[in-house]
Structure 1
Amino acid sequence: MALKRDENPTSPGSRRRLLEKQRLQKMARSPHSFVRGSTDLFYELLSEQNDHIPSGPAIWICGDCHTGNLGPLANADGEVEIEIRDLDQTVTSNPAYDLIRLALSLAMTARGSDLPGIVTEKMIEQMVGGYREALSGRPQLKDRPSSIRVAMKKAVAGSWKKLAKRSIEDTKPDIPRGHSFWDLSRREEGALKKLILSDEVVQLATLLRSRESNSDVTLLDAAYWRRGCSSLGLFRSAVLLGVDAGDEHSYCLLDIKQAVKPAAPSCKGAKINGNNAARVVEGASKLSPFLGERMIACSLLGRDVFVRELLPQDLKLDIENLKPREAVHVGRYLAAVVGRAHARQMDTSTRKNWRTELGRARSKSLDAPSWLWASVLSLIAKHETAYLEHCRHYAWVFKNALGL
């Protein structure tokens, strides 16, 4: 099937203005949405506190470890785990940065749920407890909070039909043009056709255990994907493939995303791959093996891009409107997930030393490191201020949308 083209296709040159407007609107939805979309600001503010933050072991970190970047992921054999699901910012750096980013995200979620401040304190205490437990090799990842159980149940019950409705809003073998999907330029179409039918990508499309390695792979449709927040404006494409193996036929949905230089700082002396897509794939293989095994780094029209197959089991966690007990439980569980991703990169001695470091600098009234609590307090205040300034400065973008 030929690639679809609207009567009035959107050219690459006209995308930037529309995407920037959408990004500003997304960031203005709530303080937590602003935090999730402002990674650059997070690290800019965090650099002012570096003297108080302990230097953890140099390992691969997520770099943007907020709650929306964790969730159920499947491997090629169909097994499902909660892992880090977005590695755009991954670098070799200080694991304390992931802890602070997650604590800030959870604190903003608690504020959005109108929970009292004591819940934020307990959530951060339990977060540190769950993380340290993972470093000891005994993370309680089977004791899932109810919101995580719901997500896992949905993930395990995933199907191609559900993935298609969720991602491309249709179960037909094409990608409907509209709000989320735009036409590609002819130059982009040509480059994608070459890339998609390369040996590397065909191999990725037949990776799943249910597909034969000698299956015929056909490009059915491709479109520019208007998705994400902080990455809006970078190239991103959804590609639908048909995979034929004799009497068996299945579909494969690929996400092709541009990779750029991360905002997260790397450790001094760290050897970071100059190819940003290769950096993302390497970080994914270290932190989220289920995701890393089904990603490859490529080049498209001079851009570093990574390609991954989207599976029905891949979901974003929905942990808004939490109750107090659930919020505390979620904090502990998600920190254990991150701790497990960090711990698998450390030897026994390194894990023990880092765990000991996290047990220091506690007061009688707070069962968590004072540097973590102080960092979160400072970042909440500064992000709240920046959020209101963002809304005021870009008021013109929101007036019509809000009916003001």
Structure 2
Amino acid sequence: MTSPTERRRRGRAARERVPRSAHGPWIPAADRPDPLAVLARQAEDRLADLGPIRYGRMADSPFAFLRGAAAVMAADLAAVPDTGITVQLCGDAHLLNFGVYASPERALLFDVNDFDETYPGPFEWDVKRLAASVAVAARDNGHDEERVRRAAFTAANGYAVAMRHLAELGELDVWYARIDTADILPLVRKQGRRKRVEANLDKARRRTSLQAFGKLTEKGEDGRRRIISDPPLIQGLPEDELRQVGKVYGDYRATLSEDRRVLLDRFQLADVARKVVGVGSVGTRCFILLLSGRDERDPLFLQLKEAGRSVLEEHLPAGRPSAEAPVVHGGRRVVTGQHLMQAASDIFLGWTTGPAGRHFYGRQLRDMKGSADVAAMTPAGLRQYADLCGRTLARAHARSGDRLTVAGYLGRSDTFAEAIADFAVSYADRTEVDHAALLAAIDDHTLTAQRGV
């Protein structure tokens, strides 16, 4: 068994390959792929009628563009040397992919909450995406450049401080570590900000299947509850697609543990609809399923979402196709990554293969899920939130990777965090240029965008 000292030494040795300061100011590669071409290639396997919605949402702001451009950033990160210190990556660790949700014990936890792009890779890729999202969000909020950089530094420093602490803990202590929202409130010192946080948490507690039932369904002429059609965001399915989704649902059920199957079998499938979700995910196939339990006031909403290849896969050795390598099931990849990174996960998390061999994963549509209002954050509030996200990301990485090796690489100084802050500012500059290119393409009708949807 490798000693803690040797594991830390491995991390320090990685500095010879990629010094910590080398993560600093980022200059686009001379052969950098056209970001709009990357997005167009990604859209080739998506529902064409939803493409304009995706571009419309990404056009809203540089931060919205960054959210939808995980594939663009993956290519940018792959173009520079990496540490080779592997963890389970979120793959899309921007600020709005952290949030609150209910644990199986009904505690309200704060954690990473989006795993569509999860994949094993160099730990710093997630840190860079998080810090870049902080810098872009700070600029969108009108913060001055000193505060923009300081907020990005805070995210990276929060990660480093937490990882150094986690490196001192035992294996079970790390595995059981979690961030309960009850632990967050005492950290919010200003009364006004604390009230906003409490209001957001109360809102999340109300986001349940019962709340969705009242908002998303109506009673039909036959007296049965149906999902309300709201094209193009929510649409009913023709009979042939309903049958296909019914089969997909049955196969998904089979991937759950026996106790979860017993619980799920107490519900009956009542209706299915297609739903548009997110920013970067727009165009992927996604269905919401209404199930009824004891009676119609005992609903359960599930979501079956398409899971293709992670945007990271083509850039990492483990994901490059070969004759010997089996195809990674996208749904299972998402479920496994979520279980590895989250302190506690949805009890109905499972995967399945759908029509035409497409991969899906399933989970509850709403289970006290909520996210922060980043656009309303003051400089102080954004720094505090950036620190929380950095610490949360470190805990997620520590569950799957060698935290002592990561801590050994980070060391005790601020060198890594300072370099990441420089990177974040440089990448924010490029994101603004890429966003402007998207707007220009929309204006000259090279791309079609549907705004405000």
TM-score (norm 2): 0.73
SS state at 1:320 partner: helix
| Alpha-carbon shift at residue 226 of structure 1 (Å) | 1.8
2:143 alignment partner in structure 1: 115
The letter for the 1-side match of 2:368 is Q
Matches within 5 A, 1:202-213: 207=260, 213=263
* Residue from 144, 147, 163 that aligns with 2:212: 163
CA contact (8 A) 1:196 1:202 kept: no
Give the alignment of 1:4-403 within 5 angstroms: 16-48=47-79, 50-51=80-81, 53-56=82-85, 58-135=86-163, 136-137=165-166, 141=179, 142-144=183-185, 145=188, 146=194, 148-164=197-213, 168=216, 173-179=225-231, 180-197=233-250, 200=253, 207=260, 213=263, 216-244=266-294, 250-265=298-313, 267-269=316-318, 274-291=328-345, 293-301=347-355, 302-346=357-401, 350-359=402-411, 362=414, 368-370=417-419, 372-395=420-443, 396=445
**2:17 match:** none
C-alpha contact (below 8 Å) 2:218/2:228 kept by paired residues: yes
Give the CA deviation at 1:203: 6.0
Q: Which amino acid aligns with 2:311?
A: A
Tell me, in whole angstroms, the C-alpha distance in 2 between the residues paired with 1:399 and 1:21: 4
Aligned-pair CA distance for 1:337? 1.1
Between 325-334 and 132-141, report the one with greater CA deviation: 132-141
Q: Is the 8 A contact 1:273 1:279 kept in 2?
A: no
Amino acid at match of 2:395: R
Write the distance in 2 (CA, Å) between the matches of 1:205 and 1:35.
40
CA offsets, 1:263-307, max 9 Å, x none? 124653578861111111100100124335431011111211111
1:375 maps to a residue whose letter is F
Distance 1:70 1:386 in 2: 24
- Is the partner of 1:240 in helix, strand or coil? strand
2 CA distance for matches of 1:105 and 1:325?
16
Sort the Cα spacing of 1:398 and 1:74 in 2 relative to 1 into closer, same or farther, 3 A: same
Give CA-to-partner distance per residue, 1:227-259, whole Å, 9 cap, x none.
222222221101000123xx8961110100011
1:303-332 CA distances to partner (integer Å, 9 max, x unpaired)? 111111123401233211211211111110
CA spacing shift, 1:169–1:42, aligned 2, 3 Å: farther
Q: Secondary structure at the match of 1:344?
A: helix
Identity of aligned residues (%): 20
Check conservation: 1:254, 1:308, Cα contact below 8 A: yes
Task: Indicate the SS of the match to 2:407.
Answer: helix
Give the alignment's Cα RMSD to 1 decimal: 3.2
Which stretch shows the higher mean deviation, 378-387 or 352-361?
Answer: 352-361
What's the CA shift string for 1:335-360, capped at 9, x where partnerless?
111111111224xxx32331242247
Deviation at 1:159, TM superposition (A): 4.1
Distance 1:273 1:153 in 2: 42
The alpha-carbon deviation at position 368 of structure 1 amounts to 2.1
Partners in 2 of 1:336 and 1:205 — Cα distance?
34
Cα-to-partner distance string for 1:165-196 (whole Å, 9 max, x where unaligned): 56x37699321012321122333211122233
CA contact (8 A) 2:118 2:334 kept: yes
Shift of 1:149: 4.5
Q: CA distance change for structure 1 residues 213 and 165 in 2, over 3 Å: closer, same or farther? A: closer
CA distance in 1, matches of 2:128, 2:382: 17
Structure with more helix by fraction:
2
Q: Which of 1 and 2 has higher RCO (CA within 8 Å, sep 6+)?
A: 2
2: CA distance, partners of 1:236 / 1:214: 20
Distance 1:333 1:150, change over 3 A: farther
Give distance in 1, aligned partners of 2:414 and 2:110: 30
Residue 369 of structure 2 aligns with an amino acid whose one-letter code is D
Aligned length: 372
Letter in 1 for 2:268: T
Matched residue SS, 1:297:
strand
- Conserved? CA contact 2:138–2:382, under 8 Å: yes
Change (3 A) 1:102 1:132: same
Distance in 1 between residues matched to 2:335 and 2:58, nearest whole Å: 27
**Paired AA for residue 69 in structure 2:** S
Q: Conserved in 1, the CA contact under 8 Å of 2:67 and 2:94?
A: yes
